[in-house]
Structure 1
């Protein structure tokens, strides 16, 4: 079952890559405090993830912070070595933190895993806004490319929630 608005983030062991180091932790420890934007990609270094999805979040960090986002986190079903290399090469360290979900256990727990031919289990492409561990908004990408799960769409949702508040 796919996680929904109002659901709590599950607690699953993950590796957190951020500020140059890797730490063993849990998904709820990373995503459970404050306002967090969590987006996931099918794979580090894959064309759409690398050129369209991640860069939008990296270049818009200031805009996300202006909307009260405490943390931007990217998830990938890759080992932490690949995830760290991608974060470093993307110049995202210090701007975006990364969850390396090597076995896809978090992807499964969220109900957002999928099988991709030749790649195995991966995250579906999505983004979510989390408030103190509870999913506030969820944007699952149904088609190829980056539209509803990209930084511009998430920023629009944050702006809309500010206006309605």
Structure 2
């Protein structure tokens, strides 16, 4: 079979179109960080044990929720400042219409439960574990912190209304303690 000039061009064009479509499809799969107005990704987190799954979309459906994430349980900034600030401000946030306050970390549920017990979070802040980092990866708010074991969450906070992000505060360096603290939350 002989190819004419026009059939070669059609073949190259068809190949280029398929390659282009494939590249476009791949770029659509790559995540961009979650932003205000976005729907939360469906993800299961764990509370107290691996047997107690909490779907974040179900938890936030129809209510106002403050969610904050930390690089690691029992780490100095998280234990001395971040988590205690939310525990201390829980009543104020709830009086502003917040139904739940949730702390998330890429840790196992037993570690999160022990950390919560140490800080008296019961009835104030729900301690949810993201052991594989699936939720944090879906938000595209992860970071690599080798001294803490590798993949961890950036430090951030968000106000969620009916499973949509209403306000988002990501620490500029991913780990600092400024815009994601409890006293910086803007509940509308």
Pick from 116, 134, 146: which aligns with 1:117? 146
Q: Aligned pair 1:7/2:38, yes or no?
A: yes
Q: Aligned pair 1:66/2:95, yes or no?
A: yes
Partner of 1:147: 178
Q: d(CA) in 1 for partners of 2:137 and 2:61?
A: 18
State the structure with bigger RCO (CA 8 A, min sep 6), 1 or 2: 1
Gaps of 5+ in 2: 1-31
The alpha carbon displacement at 1:48 in A equals 0.2
Change in 2 beyond 3 A, CA 1:62/1:97: same
Higher strand content, 1 or 2:
1
Q: d(CA) in 2 for partners of 1:7 and 1:114?
A: 21
Secondary structure of 1:11's match? coil
Q: Aligned pair 1:130/2:160, yes or no?
A: yes
Cα deviation 1:96-155 (Å, max 9, x = unaligned): 00110001000001111111022211110000000010000000011343110000100x
The alpha carbon displacement at 1:16 in A equals 2.5
Change in 2 beyond 3 A, CA 1:22/1:62: farther
Higher helix content, 1 or 2:
2
The alpha carbon displacement at 1:22 in A equals 6.4
Runs of 4+ in 1 over 2 A off after TM superposition: 30-33
The alpha carbon displacement at 1:42 in A equals 0.3
1:95-106 correspondence to structure 2 within 5 Å:
95-106=124-135
Q: d(CA) in 2 for partners of 1:133 and 1:60?
A: 22
Partner of 1:93: 122
The alpha carbon displacement at 1:21 in A equals 10
Higher Cα Rg, which structure: 2
TM-score (structure 2 length as normaliser): 0.78
Q: Count matched residues.
A: 155
Gaps of 5+ in 1: none
Q: d(CA) in 1 for partners of 2:180 and 2:51?
A: 26
